[in-house]
Amino acid sequence: MSATGYWMNFPAASPSNIGRWDIFCRVIDNFGDAGVCWRLAADLASRGDSVRLFIDQPDLLAQLQGPTPLPHIDICPWPTADAQFTAADVADVVLEAFACDPPAAYIEAMSQRATRPAWINLEYLSAENWIETHHRLPSPHPRYALTKHFFFPGFTPGTGGILREPTRTAEIVEQAQRQVQASVPNAGGLNPAESLRILLFCYEQALIPAWLTILAESTSTVVLDVTPCPAQAQIRQWQSEHPGHSQPCIRALPFVSQPDFDHLLDEHDLLFVRGEDSFVRAQLAGKPLIWHIYPQTDDAHRVKLQAFYDRYLGLEVLTAAEQDVYRKVVKAWNNPSAPGSDLTKLWPALVKQMPAMLENARQWRHLLLQQVDLVSQLREFVAHLVK
């Protein structure tokens, strides 16, 4: 065997499918890289393709996947530096996540394959306009007769779409139908007598103490469910400094699998999410979201953040004044030291406009459902490349 024993485990491909996929994933930090690759692998496998997922931190996947092992997916550790490959080892489609560069020996083996594999670089999601002009662009290899293609997830028809697997789509459609049936005139939002259920998943957040103090003064009940993230420690600290507070009702949640995480999103009214994957799943849950974007050193994330909310709020469900409040809260959450980040007045205003924000979230989700999902687009694209 050219490389290591895991090559022997390639599940047989059904002839009606694209065939075999090798996905390469290097974890930069946190859960997002693994999270996106796992969703992608699971989605492909659910459609009958055979997938090997090469990842440098396979242990992360154990936390993300549900209790039932998925057929057609083989999880492989990142190949060691001395691993050798032959053309027979190479899959029909090679997908590197976020330009992570497959091992040099594997790329050489790709160049020796009689039918060249389709080679895809799956990029980060963005709502920026330039995505459309870069999506599907080829990049010839400088040494080998190989061409890599860029695949950009996005929100418009000219992009690769977002991950939305058939099972989740079915759940969402059913949920949306139930919501339509249950709606009554003037409803569509929170009942003021009900509690506000907030789900929190964020990075280190300087606003937490001040925000908790505002929540503590709220007249209606606030349930704050905190996923495993830096906020849990910050909140514990605040609780120790505010013993006996009755508001908000804070619950520290354990880490759950991705399918359970999706259901957690469904169960809450306001979603604080971060990174890429939880941000997408919050949109699919059809709930108002406050996005804590992954910070980049050159501040490129600020443009990306604005591009998303421009599209999202561009539906114009919210009045100009409501949009202003929403944008200011998002801005404060992402840049707490900037002027105007005091939530004292902004927070009550945001809570008051929750019904309109919910309507915006539902209309946005409706648009996303019209889009062809990422895996369908990807399969169609590579089918054309491997012809």
Stretch that binds ligand TRH, among 16-24, 72-80, 209-217, 251-259 (CB under 6 A): 251-259
Tell me which residues in 27-56 interact with ligand TRH (CB under 6 A). Answer: 28-33, 35
* Sequence-distant (≥ 6) Cβ neighbours of residue 364 within 8 angstroms: 283, 286, 312, 315
Q: How far is the CB of 358 from ligand TRH (least distance, A)?
A: 21
70 binds ligand TRH (CB under 6 A): no
Q: For residue 81, how many other CB atoms are within 10 A of its CB? A: 8
276 binds ligand TRH (CB under 6 A): yes
* Residue nearer to ligand TRH on the CB measure, 38 or 85: 38
* Residue nearer to ligand TRH on the CB measure, 92 or 225: 225
Q: How far is the CB of 254 from ligand TRH (least distance, A)?
A: 7
For the chain, the 3-state helix, strand and coil shares in percent, each to the nearest 5, are 45, 15, 40
> Catalytic residue at 165?
no
232 binds ligand TRH (CB under 6 A): no
* Residue nearer to ligand TRH on the CB measure, 98 or 106: 98
Residue 146 tokens, joined: 């190989």
Q: How far apart are CA 373 and CA 280, in angstroms?
A: 12
Stretch that binds ligand TRH, among 73-81, 86-94, 157-165, 276-284 (CB under 6 A): 276-284
Phi, psi for residue 250 in degrees, rounded to 5: -105, 130
* Residue nearer to ligand TRH on the CB measure, 97 or 318: 97
255 binds ligand TRH (CB under 6 A): yes
Is the Cβ–Cβ distance between 149 and 136 less than 8 Å?
A: yes
Q: How far is the CB of 340 from ligand TRH (least distance, A)?
A: 25
Is the Cβ–Cβ distance between 262 and 168 less than 8 Å?
A: yes
Residue 197 pairs with which residues in a beta bridge?
A: 223
> Catalytic residue at 33?
yes
360 binds ligand TRH (CB under 6 A): no
Is the Cβ–Cβ distance between 266 and 197 less than 8 Å?
A: no
* Residue nearer to ligand TRH on the CB measure, 32 or 248: 32
154 binds ligand TRH (CB under 6 A): no
Beta strands 222-226 and 196-200 are: parallel
277 binds ligand TRH (CB under 6 A): yes
322 binds ligand TRH (CB under 6 A): no
Stretch that binds ligand TRH, among 44-52, 211-219, 254-262, 318-326 (CB under 6 A): 254-262
Q: Which of 49, 165, 269, 276 is an active site residue? A: 276
* Residue nearer to ligand TRH on the CB measure, 121 or 353: 121
Indicate the Cα dihedral angle 6, 9, 15, 16, nearest 10°. -80
From 21, 54, 106, 201, residue interacting with ligand TRH (rule: CB under 6 A): 201
Q: For residue 296, how many other CB atoms are within 10 A of its CB? A: 11
Q: How far apart are CA 266 and CA 282, in angstroms?
A: 8
* Sequence-distant (≥ 6) Cβ neighbours of residue 53 within 8 angstroms: 23, 25, 37, 38, 41, 61, 73, 74, 75, 76
Q: How far apart are CA 253 and CA 246, in angstroms?
A: 19
261 binds ligand TRH (CB under 6 A): yes
Q: Is 89 helix (H, G, I), strand (E, B) or coil?
A: helix
294 binds ligand TRH (CB under 6 A): yes
**Site map (CB under 6 A) of ligand TRH, residues 78-107, x = contact:** ------------------------------
- Show which residues are catalytic: 33, 276
Question: Which residues contribute to the site for ligand TRH (CB under 6 A)?
Answer: 28-33, 35, 64, 201, 227-228, 255-258, 261, 274-279, 294
